[in-house]
Amino acid sequence: MDEMFTKSMARNIFYGGTVFFFLLFLALTFDTMGVVPSRDNHENLTPTVIAGKTLWEENNCIGCHTLLGEGAYFAPELGNVYVRFGNSTEAIKGFIKSRPKDGIPGRRSMPQFNFTDEELEQLAQFLKYTSEINTSNWPPNIMG
């Protein structure tokens, strides 16, 4: 690199740039925290939904599915499954409940988790809550 451009100049760009852009990031984060409540559907974050989120986590659903486009790509997007299933929590519960224990021969299958009716309701309510988050019109269509 050019002789005029010294190591100490490079170092100063590193420290100055990092501090500046990290502070800018913090400012944007601060602003985001102010805007998020108008988009995150938190008013529907009931104890049932929160229990559903815990079930979602403790069964590692994200290990096969995406949720709002993040997760694994082995099984369908679930951020909008409530809408895809005709705005029906019953349909979601019915699907989860009816998974065969030994899977479907030759096909990708979802495990049978043996959830209680209460747990099924919690999960379905969590997925309904998720579908009502303002995601700037993502996914592009109902298929997820």
Partner 1 sequence: MEYQSQAVAKYYFTAAIGLFVGQILFGLIIGLQYVVGDFLFPEIPFNVARMVHTNLLIVWLLFGFMGAAYYLIPEEAERELYSPALAILMFWIFLVAGALTILGYLLVPYSTLADLTMNELWPTMGREFLEQPTITKLGIVVVALAFVFNVGMTVLQGRKTVINLVLMIGLVGLAVFFLFAFHNPSDLVQDKFWWWWTVHLWVEGVWELILGSILAFVLIKTTGVDREVIEKWLYIIIAMTLITGIIGTGHHYYWIGTPEYWQWWGSIFSAMEPIPFFMMTVFAFTMVNKRKRDHPNKVAVLWALGTGVMAFLGAGVWGFLHTLAPVNYFTHGTQITAAHGHMAFYGAYVMVVLAIISYAMPIIRGRAANSNKAQVMEMWSFWLMTVSIVFITLFLTAAGILQTWLQRISDTPMTFMAAQDQIAIFYWMREFAGVVFLIGLIVYIMSFFVSEEDEMNA
In this structure, the dihedral spanned by the alpha carbons of residues 20, 22, 24 and 26, taken in order and rounded to 10 degrees, is: -150
Q: Which 40-59 positions form the footprint of ligand HEM (CB under 6 A)?
A: none
Where do runs of H (alpha helix) occur along the chain?
7-35, 47-58, 81-84, 89-97, 117-131
Find which of ligand HEM, partner 1, none residue 80 binds, CB within 5 to 8 Å per kind: none
Cβ-proximal residue to ligand HEM, closest one: 72
**Residue 113, token pair as written in the block:** 């988790």
Which of 69, 94, 100, 111 touches ligand HEM (CB under 6 A)?
69
Tell me if 21 contacts ligand HEM by CB under 6 A.
no
Q: Is 71 left (phi over 0), alpha (psi -120 to 50) or beta?
A: left
Rounded distance between C-alpha atoms, residue 58 and residue 51, angstroms: 10
Q: Between residues 52 and 71, which has the closer beta carbon with respect to ligand HEM? A: 71
State in angstroms the smallest separation of the CB of 90 from partner 1.
20
Q: Which 75-104 positions form the footprint of partner 1 (CB under 8 A)?
A: 75-77, 101-104
State in angstroms the smallest separation of the CB of 19 from ligand HEM.
21
User: For binding to ligand HEM (CB under 6 A), which residues are involved?
Assistant: 69-70, 72-74
